[in-house]
Structure 1
Amino acid sequence: MTNDSQLKISYGQAFIAPDKNSVRSTMSVKIPEGSALAAKGIAAVVADSTWRNVIAKQAAETCTRGFLADYYATPDNWDVKTSATKVLSALNSWLFSQGKNVANGNYISSFSAVVLKGRQGHLFHMGDTLVFRLRGGEFEQVSREHTNFMGGYRYPSRALGLDPSVDIDYHQFNLKQGDIFLFTTQAAKGTLVASDYVQLIRQYAADLNQACDQILHTACEKASARGYSSTHFCFQLARVDLLPDEQGESIADAFGALPVPNDMNVGEELDGYRIEEVLNKSAMSCIYRVRDKHTGRQMVLKAPAPQLAMRKDFIRQFIMQQWVVERVNSPYVAKIVDASRPRNSLYYLREYVDGRTLTEWIAQNPNTDLRRMIDLIEQMVKAIRALHRRDILCQGLHPDNILVDQMGMIKLIDFASCAVPGAVDLPSPLVIAKMVGFSSYTAPEYRLSREPNANADQFSLAAIAYWMLTGQKVYVDQMDSLHSRADISRLEYMPSFQYNPMIPVWLDGALRRALQPNPELRYRRLSEFIYDLKKPNPHYIKETQMPLAERSPLVFWKGLSGVLLLLLLLSLMH
């Protein structure tokens, strides 16, 4: 099901070059589908190199292909300006470094891109490529030419690959339905004037490819009549045919409005998927092991609980689960499976993992050695880091949401609490966490209504590690008493080696730091945490040799108070 209010455009192109080795300009338009259209928009670009050789072609093609590939690979919570400027800066650095190794030529290219997202347009420009906009009867140049004159020739004063850093012109503007953007290069200067463009575009508006062909033909004729070179022309038109509605197009809208399926039992079917096992039914979701009737493949189907059909906030969050996690590629995170057929109900599919939950695995392997436990914890770290690399917070870490497969590999399987901080179309991480609910592994900052960061996942991971190694939950029965920041300082950490004497003091030091109630005192990176779990940190060994009053003031003063109270009672008795 598609959304009729999605942004839609038409475009056309035409170019001429004497041969493929002398092409110096390239152009392209990318129109993504589904959630990517809402998250990133549509991009139209043109690039033009300063040289007429094979290197020039490579420079221009690298700019267009590299920008389009990398822009759509940036995190979806980045805004258009952040995504494009970071990509262009990286592209400029690469082109500049390559140009230093070229004797006859360079990797310098002018570049212009217009990104259309929602009801906004974003122009990114450097060099002397040309972008015009036709709106009604007004035809204006929206790009500013960066040029210098040297020895009677015109050269770009700004371009990709020209300097180690690049100064990018950025302009944001409102879109109107019917806006037409024309992309071309300096070669067209001196041939057509504004009235020529307007006349030809309006005359052939029904077919923009034909309009570009006619513009090219007319430009070649006028160039020949004036004695100009007519062998390096390119023209690209992009027209806004439909704008999303005023409130803007959200990522959730891209998935369409599908009904929530009813409760299903073994033997029933949904869109050709046969229910073979009911894995879980809760107040929030129904999870089934299914088999595709057409391919025989086993998968897991997750749908919202039927009673939530009218709860728009829960439905919206459910839709986001698939959108968020399908961007993660890790062997330690269960993969989202694309539906092979159109969906008639709201659900998503993920790969089926033959394994046991971590809770079950620990119960069945009570005497697992320390090294094997650390290996499982390290795999969990890799799963969480894969999410963090895509700017996703897990938030819902729990032993029941982690599977250990038949090969002993960890798989993260539940994404109900996943959130993307800063995403315009998503609720905040704190809102999502409260919606789903807290557990005994949830970081304390959530209970104080403080917006979490990646360190919150570190706490949950360390809390699971503590439970795996000791059989106990950290800060047990203390979390419910958190009502203010002052309460955090009263959380009392019980050393893990008091429950399990096989745990060395340096390993407990790593756990204690990752489980700090104050998130600012935890590890800066998960890689540091797992490093300290695997290799003794001299700092933690030294800590154990410090006086108790310095090592743990709270325990020291509690112990001292207890001794003094006992002495007082004894004195009163005598």
Structure 2
Amino acid sequence: MTLRLAIGQHSEAGRKPLNQDFHGVAQPTDAQRRSRGIALAIADGISTSAVSQIASAAAVRGFLEDYYGTAESWTVRRAAHCVLAATNGWLHAQSQRGDGRFNADRGHVCTFSALVFKGREVHLLHVGDTRVYRVHANALEQLSQDHRVRVDGQTYLGRALGVSPHVEIDHACLPVEVGETFLLASDGAYEHLDATTVQATLTQHGTDLQAAAQALVSTALARGSEDNVTVMLARVESLPRAIAPLLNRDDLRLPPRLSPRQEFEGYRVVRELFTGPRSQVVLAVNAQAREWVLKLPSAELAGNARELDRFTSEEWVARRVDSPHVIKAAPAERRREFLFTAMEYVPGQTLAQWMTDHPAPSLDEVRQIVEQIARGLQALHRKEMLHQDLRPENVMISRQGTVVLIDLASAHVAGLSEGHGDARPLELAGTLQYTAPEYFTGAGGSPVSELFSLAVLTYQMLTGALPYGLQVPQVRGERDLHQLQYVPLRARRPDLPEWLDRVLKKALQPQAARRQQALSEFMHDLYVPGPEFMKRDRTPLQERHPLLFWRGLTVVFGVATVVLLGLRVSGR
């Protein structure tokens, strides 16, 4: 099942010489429908401006065109807000060049409402006093809020596109069902329509929503509307049952096991790098003699659609992130017969091997690696993606010293996960000892969760151990977070500065809200620690160095025991 809508829309100038309303519906491709959904929008220019019809047309056209040009990995909210912020900035700039510079009522100003249907949900974007309703049997449920201000008995528009350089856009996300109908209308229409009229008109025209929209516009004009009148109707005809896979693998076969010198899909196998129960990884060269890593699913995954979808996601994600610190996908030069992924080959060593070779690295060596990992994560986060499996084996250090994140199969893509209820990254996808505690409590992941994982790696590079040992995977609820015992960095590396321990302890806080709130903040603290980290530590020795505390206490008890025994003997 796919997402399908029935649409009806109509607009008339009415008694006014010029129609300053504008409306439209996108016609997305099948791929765009899966990743971006179906969008429709309406705008109403203010009557005091001679150019507001330009504003309303630009707002609707700009939204319907530019929204589908945003990153497929973005959520509807982020994509829509970016597009509308750019539109608002352009409209305000046009106003500043004309009569609207000193009087906003004469500028490029309009109200705006849009619906974006994606998956089994609908997103509402709104600013101004156009309205969006959900039609029920005996009522119209208003989903949008009128941004009007009442002053001295007069009503003014409180918020609209083009009024100021920045605008606040209302956003709401609602579940939808097959058969539901939504109504978008300008004030010239809704002020003269009621639930009974709308329902009767829909009943009269049945499946012909275009005729129903025209009839509603005619009714509003007949009832005395003196403004432009615009009505849009959208009825949900079908919904997808589940999230669509990133790639269509229906016509792809599972590959055979490959051997050295074998020709496969335009590549020649050089040697096997890894083999396991779920996949085979080989080094291969293409026609240009460039080396690539091919990952092939094993026959055991034949009936596991979920794992095969995750398998194909790695290449999809890699193609949409441009960073020297994130693995790149091979160019798609030919149609494939078999299911596999082709990623760049990074000659060098994993971070796990580097740590074995550098058991006590300097702070500067570690910072250089951590900074590059952070840049790779930031590139993913800008696309609203989470790596979710940050561990030493998934970090490559090239022979030139470039750090590259590999294995994107566990990545969470926000824009592709939404549309079917809770789209938060809740699943435990990575290696448990590097996973942030909020995954175990059910709160789900975020970029701050990846900051925690990066801090675990930083601590491990410096000490060869984990800051909480194996305690974190045992967390099951919020109460367990308070039982986690952080082992101070200086208990294992007393040569390192005290401020570094405080920086890492903050990044490794069990409660996400108590950590640094951005990777950039964490990196700044690693290089330029602020006053909160430089103050003299008054924390009790038992908390700062529990191992040293208990060792010292044991020595004291031992000495005291010897002294007491000596006194007892001498007393005899």
**TM surpasses 0.5:** yes
State the distance in 1 between where 2:158 and 2:564 align: 90
Aligned equivalent of 1:432: 428
User: Does 2:496 align with 1:495?
Assistant: no
Structure 1 unaligned blocks of 5 or more: 149-153, 224-228
Secondary structure, aligned partner of 1:543:
coil
TM superposition shift of 1:282: 3.1
Do 1:279 and 1:287's aligned partners in 2 also have CA atoms closer than 8 Å?
A: yes
Secondary structure, aligned partner of 1:431:
coil
More deviation in 523-532 or 114-123?
114-123
Do 2:436 and 2:450's aligned partners in 1 also have CA atoms closer than 8 Å?
A: yes
Aligned equivalent of 2:391: 398
What does the per-residue CA deviation read over 1:155-206, in whole Å, with 9 as the maximum and x for residues that have no partner? Answer: 97874345876686979685657x99998979999xxx99xx99xx99999x
Do 1:6 and 1:249's aligned partners in 2 also have CA atoms closer than 8 Å?
A: no
Secondary structure, aligned partner of 2:401:
coil
* Alpha carbons of structure 1 residues 27 and 9: separation in structure 2 relative to 1, 3 Å: same
What does the per-residue CA deviation read over 1:399-444, in whole Å, with 9 as the maximum and x for residues that have no partner? Answer: 22112235432211112333368854788755333xx5435x4456
- TM-score, with structure 2 as normaliser: 0.69
TM superposition shift of 1:473: 2.0
- Cα RMSD for the two superposed structures: 5.9
Secondary structure, aligned partner of 1:356:
strand
- TM-score, with structure 1 as normaliser: 0.68
Q: What is the 5 A alignment of 1:251-330?
A: 251-252=244-245, 255-257=248-250, 258-293=252-287, 298-322=291-315, 327-330=320-323
State the distance in 2 between where 1:292 and 1:59 align: 52
* Alpha carbons of structure 1 residues 400 and 253: separation in structure 2 relative to 1, 3 Å: closer
Do 2:22 and 2:56's aligned partners in 1 also have CA atoms closer than 8 Å?
A: no
Do 1:420 and 1:426's aligned partners in 2 also have CA atoms closer than 8 Å?
A: no
State the distance in 2 between where 1:144 and 1:427 align: 23
1:415 to 405, 408, 412: 408
What does the per-residue CA deviation read over 1:326-373, in whole Å, with 9 as the maximum and x for residues that have no partner? Answer: 554433222445634444443344444444323445666789764343
Aligned equivalent of 2:465: 473
User: Does 2:369 align with 1:373?
Assistant: no
State the distance in 2 between where 1:6 and 1:341 align: 28
State the distance in 2 between where 1:430 and 1:562 align: 47
TM superposition shift of 1:249: 3.3
Secondary structure, aligned partner of 1:479:
coil
State the distance in 2 between where 1:303 and 1:44 align: 41
What does the per-residue CA deviation read over 1:255-309, in whole Å, with 9 as the maximum and x for residues that have no partner? Answer: 354544333233445544443443333344333444455x766544334343233
Do 1:35 and 1:323's aligned partners in 2 also have CA atoms closer than 8 Å?
A: no
* Alpha carbons of structure 1 residues 93 and 276: separation in structure 2 relative to 1, 3 Å: same
TM superposition shift of 1:474: 2.9
Aligned equivalent of 1:151: none
TM superposition shift of 1:382: 1.9
* Alpha carbons of structure 1 residues 88 and 419: separation in structure 2 relative to 1, 3 Å: closer
* Alpha carbons of structure 1 residues 156 and 556: separation in structure 2 relative to 1, 3 Å: closer
* Alpha carbons of structure 1 residues 237 and 450: separation in structure 2 relative to 1, 3 Å: closer
1:69 to 59, 66, 70: 66
Aligned equivalent of 1:504: 497
**Which letter maps to 1:375?**
Q
What does the per-residue CA deviation read over 1:121-177, in whole Å, with 9 as the maximum and x for residues that have no partner? Answer: 556556676999999xx9x999999799xxxxx997874345876686979685657
State the distance in 2 between where 1:480 and 1:395 align: 19
User: Does 2:243 align with 1:243?
Assistant: no
Aligned equivalent of 1:42: 38
TM superposition shift of 1:378: 1.0
TM superposition shift of 1:321: 4.4
State the distance in 2 between where 1:296 and 1:31 align: 42
TM superposition shift of 1:73: 4.0
TM superposition shift of 1:530: 1.5
State the distance in 2 between where 1:520 and 1:14 align: 49
Do 1:160 and 1:166's aligned partners in 2 also have CA atoms closer than 8 Å?
A: no
Aligned equivalent of 1:384: 377
Structure 2 unaligned blocks of 5 or more: 150-154, 191-196
**Which letter maps to 2:33?**
L
State the distance in 2 between where 1:353 and 1:34 align: 35
Do 1:401 and 1:414's aligned partners in 2 also have CA atoms closer than 8 Å?
A: yes
Aligned equivalent of 1:110: 111
* Alpha carbons of structure 1 residues 414 and 169: separation in structure 2 relative to 1, 3 Å: closer
Aligned equivalent of 1:534: 527
TM superposition shift of 1:65: 1.5
Do 2:391 and 2:431's aligned partners in 1 also have CA atoms closer than 8 Å?
A: no
TM superposition shift of 1:108: 1.1
**Which letter maps to 1:107?**
H
Q: What is the 5 A alignment of 1:197-208?
A: none
* Alpha carbons of structure 1 residues 97 and 467: separation in structure 2 relative to 1, 3 Å: same
Secondary structure, aligned partner of 1:255:
coil
User: Does 2:2 align with 1:6?
Assistant: yes
Do 2:352 and 2:392's aligned partners in 1 also have CA atoms closer than 8 Å?
A: yes
Do 1:275 and 1:290's aligned partners in 2 also have CA atoms closer than 8 Å?
A: yes
**Which letter maps to 2:260?**
V
TM superposition shift of 1:380: 1.1
Q: Percent identity?
A: 29
TM superposition shift of 1:460: 2.6
Do 1:95 and 1:160's aligned partners in 2 also have CA atoms closer than 8 Å?
A: no
* Alpha carbons of structure 1 residues 89 and 415: separation in structure 2 relative to 1, 3 Å: same
More deviation in 29-38 or 405-414?
29-38
Do 2:471 and 2:484's aligned partners in 1 also have CA atoms closer than 8 Å?
A: no
State the distance in 2 between where 1:132 and 1:448 align: 37
